[in-house]
Structure 1
Amino acid sequence: MSRLFVVLLTFMGGIVMTIQPSINAKLAQKTGVIESALISFAIGTLTLILIVSASGSGTIKGIVDAKWWELSGGVMGAFFVAVITCSVPRIGTTASMAIIIAAQLTIGILLDHFGMFGFKSLPIDLKRLMGILMMGIGIFFILKK
């Protein structure tokens, strides 16, 4: 898979990640926040079952060798979908996404700095800290009424 293709897929993932909370929030008006998250995950699970059935190259049997924390992504995903479904109608898509991105960048810097999960260590530097500070300033203005 080429680097450009990965970048484009990631960009498309960002687009979808921004649209999904509004769609889930509309569904939540009819079903409830947690119920909307459940429906979203159920449909996502069915979609993945079809994809794995058609073209999966890995093995689900590997789950028996997984550590407990390697399985925690589903819990984190459910938490994220429920929180963002709740926040978008209250503070807006822009504010919700800005806060999420700032949190992701902040934790990302720490994960990189300490080489967490066995990945390459990338030390914290002034440029990265300034980027996060500017995100914080941007969030302040986005939330300011």
Structure 2
Amino acid sequence: MIFSTITIWAALALLAGALMPMQSGVNSTLAQNSEGAIWASFISFVVGTLSLFIVAVLTRQEWPAMASLKQAPWWAWTGGLMGAVFVATSAFLAPRLGAATMMALFVAGQLTMSLMLDHFGWATFPQHSINLWRVLGVVMLFCGVLLIRFN
């Protein structure tokens, strides 16, 4: 096989990551035409929800069992809230910071939180202890943010 499973997953992650600044710009454009970032974010979520519903119907996904959903911890329900904060914030910040600075800051924040999630093995992530190399990687990332912002 030419491509391993991990290669395909990595390519998918790169594609999803590449869509993030595009989404921010698209939502920012919508915000300029819809009374602000909150309404643009709401519209974005409605379109996303409808899209996922159509995919679920077309692929004949089973409706989740209520008993299983009730077993989820309370914090498992906060993903939509986090998504709303991200979408609204990115729609607001895109024209103010520019794509490169905004995304560099997002990635720095993501990696910082990722270190903690891995260290504590929280939210289904396998446990990987923080070490000097991981911390150095995040510090270098913050240096990259400075280089991008103050070039």
TM-score (norm 1): 0.92
Matched, 1:34 2:42: no
Separation of aligned partners in 2, 1:15 and 1:28: 21
Instruction: Render the CA deviation track for 1:72-107: whole Å, top value 9, x for unaligned.
Output: 100110011000111110011101100010011011
Structure 1 counterpart of 2:101: 95
DSSP-derived class of the 2:127 partner: coil
Consecutive unaligned residues of structure 2, counting only runs of 5 or more, are: none
Structure 2 counterpart of 1:105: 111
Any runs of at least 4 consecutive aligned residues in structure 1 with deviations exceeding 4 A, and if so which? none
Using the aligned pairs only, state the percent identity: 34
Larger helix proportion of the pair:
1
Separation of aligned partners in 2, 1:30 and 1:48: 25
Instruction: Choose from 1, 4, 8 the match for 1:5.
Output: 8
DSSP-derived class of the 1:60 partner: coil
- Per mean C-alpha deviation after superposition, the further-off stretch among 30-39 and 2-11 is 2-11
Separation of aligned partners in 2, 1:125 and 1:63: 36
Q: CA deviation at 1:140?
A: 1.6
Consecutive unaligned residues of structure 1, counting only runs of 5 or more, are: none
- Per mean C-alpha deviation after superposition, the further-off stretch among 58-67 and 28-37 is 58-67
Instruction: Choose from 117, 123, 129 the match for 2:123.
Output: 117
DSSP-derived class of the 1:19 partner: helix
Structure 2 counterpart of 1:49: 53
Distance 1:100 1:58, change over 3 A: farther
- Matched residue pairs, number? 145
Structure 1 counterpart of 2:73: 67
